[in-house]
């Protein structure tokens, strides 16, 4: 028996329940997680955590954790947990939508989205969540307690990391990869000021085309969300400056541009034509692409009004 592995196979559900237990029973772990998600040292009061919270339209959150912040408001962290499963189309966007729905329903005042996964997965993913926490960090947290219970959970997390290293293979879509490559090459050639991301293999659901209009600033992006039919500025962690940003851009926008808060970020977006990058070839939708790029260029001008 001593030669057998403690865990024959670790699943995402196993990790879900470890996190669920800790969030519901350990105030120390809950505050550690909130600190990692928000970047602000936390001593908040946990309200509770729930597993597999499902909306009939917007889908499922693996975990939802609610806590009471310093101002006595209820805040939420919506957690997507991944061991080795590929991302589903628009999965991160649906987490944002469920978070906003919770605000509208009065379940919480504000929220954050968080992807929890092995570091190798986080490095390879292009999903946009407000924060990432690696399994390696969680393993180190449990091991730091130097007690039998913590070491057992650290070993469980380590087994999940090893499983991911052995078994994870991204499901690459040749159609999406080729479409994105052509798109990014076109922008780099004709509009290099948008500073497009580097082309890389993509899954079918990875349809966001990203630009980094301010060099070395990864927290400010312009994104063509192809299946969402929008191009948007994403100002991460700028929600507290919403009123200031709104005043700055007011002279430069019209009814075709909307601005709103998403979690802790500010979004400024405009609609663009419908494109199906799987069913359509790049050359067949070049006019739609050009229109989207013109919107992106306009949004960059709006962005510069804020930054200047």
Per-residue pLDDT tens digits for 56-82: 778 889 999 999 988 889 999 999 999
Show me where the domains of the chain are located: 12-167, 174-307
CATH architecture, domain defined by 174-307: Alpha-Beta Complex (3.90)
**pLDDT tens track, the chain, 308 positions:** 444 456 657 788 899 999 999 999 999 999 999 999 988 887 889 999 999 888 877 888 999 999 998 888 999 999 999 987 776 767 888 999 999 999 999 999 999 999 999 988 888 777 788 899 999 999 999 998 778 998 999 999 998 888 766 555 556 788 999 999 999 999 999 999 999 999 988 877 778 899 999 988 888 999 998 977 899 998 988 888 899 999 888 888 888 899 888 767 888 999 999 999 988 999 999 999 999 999 999 999 999 887 55
Kindly give, in sequence order, each residue whose CB lies less than 8 Å from that of residue 168, ignoring residues fewer than 6 positions away. 83, 84, 118, 120, 121
Residue 263 confidence (pLDDT): 64
Residue 165 confidence (pLDDT): 63
**pLDDT tens, position by position, 239-263:** 888 999 998 888 888 888 998 887 6
Supply the mean pLDDT for the chain.
87
Q: Are 163 and 9 in contact (CB under 8 A)?
A: yes
Backbone dihedral angles phi then psi of residue 19, each to the nearest 5 degrees: -65, -40
């Amino acid at each position: 028996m001593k030669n057998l592995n403690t865990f024959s196979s670790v699943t995402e559900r196993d990790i879900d329940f470890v996190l669920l237990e800790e969030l519901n029973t350990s105030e120390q772990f809950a505050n550690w997680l909130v600190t990692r998600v928000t970047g602000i040292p936390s001593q908040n009061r946990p309200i509770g955590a729930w597993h597999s919270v499902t909306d009939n339209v917007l889908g499922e959150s693996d975990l939802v954790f609610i806590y009471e912040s310093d101002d006595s408001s209820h805040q939420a962290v919506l957690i997507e947990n991944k061991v080795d499963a590929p991302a589903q189309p628009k999965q991160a966007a649906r987490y944002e939508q469920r978070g906003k729905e919770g605000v509208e329903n009065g379940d919480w005042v504000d929220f954050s989205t968080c992807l929890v996964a092995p570091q190798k997965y986080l490095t390879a993913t292009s999903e946009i969540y407000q924060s990432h926490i690696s399994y390696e960090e969680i393993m180190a947290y449990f091991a730091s307690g130097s007690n039998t219970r913590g070491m057992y959970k650290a070993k469980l997390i380590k087994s999940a990391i090893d499983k991911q290293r052995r078994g994870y293979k991204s499901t690459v879509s040749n159609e999406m990869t080729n479409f994105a490559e052509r798109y990014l090459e076109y922008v780099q050639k004709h509009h290099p000021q948008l500073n497009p991301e580097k082309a890389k293999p993509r899954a079918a659901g990875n349809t966001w085309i990203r630009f980094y209009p301010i060099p070395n600033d990864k927290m400010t992006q312009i994104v063509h969300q192809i299946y969402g039919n929008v191009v948007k500025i994403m100002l991460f962690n700028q929600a507290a400056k919403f009123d200031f940003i709104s005043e700055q851009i007011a002279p430069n926008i019209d009814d075709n541009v909307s601005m709103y808060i998403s979690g802790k970020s500010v979004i400024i977006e405009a609609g663009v034509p419908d494109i199906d990058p799987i069913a359509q070839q790049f050359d067949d939708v070049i006019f739609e692409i050009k229109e989207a790029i013109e919107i992106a260029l306009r949004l960059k001008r709006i962005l510069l009004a804020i930054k200047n």
